[in-house]
Amino acid sequence: MLKALQIFGSSSGLVAFRWKPHATSGFILVSTNSLSCSAPRKRTRRPYLVLSPFSTRKASSSRALRVHSTGSESKMDASSSPPPSVAVQSAGIVRKINFCQWCGGATKYEIPDGEEKMRAICTLCGKIAYQNPKMVVGCLIEHDNKVLLCRRNIQPSYGLWTLPAGYLEIGESAAEGAIRETWEEASAEVEVVSPFAQLDIPLIGQTYIIFLSRLKKPHFSPGPESSECRLFSLDEIPFDSLAFSSMLVTLNLYTEDVKAGRPKFHYGTINKRPGTSPSDIHAYTLDYHLQS
């Protein structure tokens, strides 16, 4: 099992991993020019990490993890479109912030001293509004060689199946949040066994942390956000009726691990194919897939 995993992000897009020593894998640091933006400013060269993954779905050479600009999956309306200088710096959706969340003052877009990206800065109190990714936590519950899924009773993806999962709350650990979400969605008391997957979705600014878990008691029932809860054997999992690409990836990886006879820890980035609908859960690539 993976001994340590650390991921660090900076405004330049640096991503670093620290892995358990492995006889046939390693990593090296290389440098490349950082992203430019509209305002003239001296740029420094930033290091990026090249990874030699333990194993991947397809044999490939080391890949450099670099932040780059891409078009968003769907167009935002004009009222929410950020200034061009903001949008070009992000591979994901950046919302325009017109007013300060602290004092209500109007904002202006500038590059703060010591930074490289346009930010919304309050013209009254001077505070900077940072837009950061959200963490989604959940449980992959094993019971009698089956997994527990919940049918969603809310939008988005109403009526489709998912693992019990939701946004992490302030003041709780990832494991505590996953346990809470499982209770809220499936009325199930669980014990976390081990981390199973971390899946980043840069386009929508989310990171999923999924834990392998087991039921403390063989009891579960739908919570307010679920219309049904059910245990599925591997060959019964409704892969064409899952709510999100993250659930499809997680359950595919789990199925492969079970068939191989050994659970692993997985890290990967889910990138939706350009021009496809967010509701098309099969339209993605799993990039930088690393597993212990």
Per-residue pLDDT of the chain (292 residues; tens, 9 = 90+): 433 333 333 333 333 333 343 433 333 333 333 323 333 333 333 333 333 333 333 333 223 232 222 333 322 333 334 444 333 334 567 789 999 999 999 999 999 999 999 999 999 999 999 999 999 999 999 999 999 999 999 999 999 999 999 999 999 999 999 999 999 999 999 999 999 999 999 999 999 999 999 999 999 999 999 999 999 999 999 999 999 999 999 999 999 999 999 999 999 999 988 888 878 999 999 999 999 9
Contacts of 91 by beta carbon, 8 Å cutoff, 6+ apart = 67, 68, 69, 70, 202, 203
**How far is residue 213 from each of residues 167, 178, 238, measured CA to CA in Å?**
18, 10, 20
Q: Identify whether residues 189 and 113 lie together within a single domain.
A: no
Q: Is the pTM of this model over 0.85?
A: no
Say how many CA atoms lie within 13 Å of 73 toward its Cβ: 19
The last residue of a domain, from among 102, 131, 160:
131
153: domain CATH number is 3.90.79.10
Structural domain of 275: 134-291
* Residue 245 dihedral angles phi and psi, to the nearest 5°: -60, -35
3-state DSSP percent of the chain in helix, strand and coil, to 5:
15, 35, 50
Whether 72 contacts 92, CB under 8 Å? yes
Name the residue among 125, 280, 132 with its Cα closest to residue 206: 132
Q: Identify whether residues 114 and 212 lie together within a single domain.
A: no
d(CA 27, CA 46): 16
Q: Determine, yes or no, domain membership for 229.
A: yes
pLDDT number for residue 115: 94
pLDDT number for residue 138: 98
pLDDT number for residue 276: 84
d(CA 278, CA 272): 8
Domains in the chain: how many in total? 2
d(CA 1, CA 54): 12
pLDDT number for residue 54: 37
Q: Identify whether residues 107 and 222 lie together within a single domain.
A: no
The last residue of a domain, from among 131, 158, 179:
131
pLDDT number for residue 274: 83
Q: Determine, yes or no, domain membership for 20.
A: no
Q: Determine, yes or no, domain membership for 184.
A: yes
Q: Identify whether residues 259 and 204 lie together within a single domain.
A: yes
pLDDT number for residue 66: 29
63-90 in b/e form (b: 16+ CB < 10 A) is: eebbbeeeebbeeeeeeeebeeebbebb
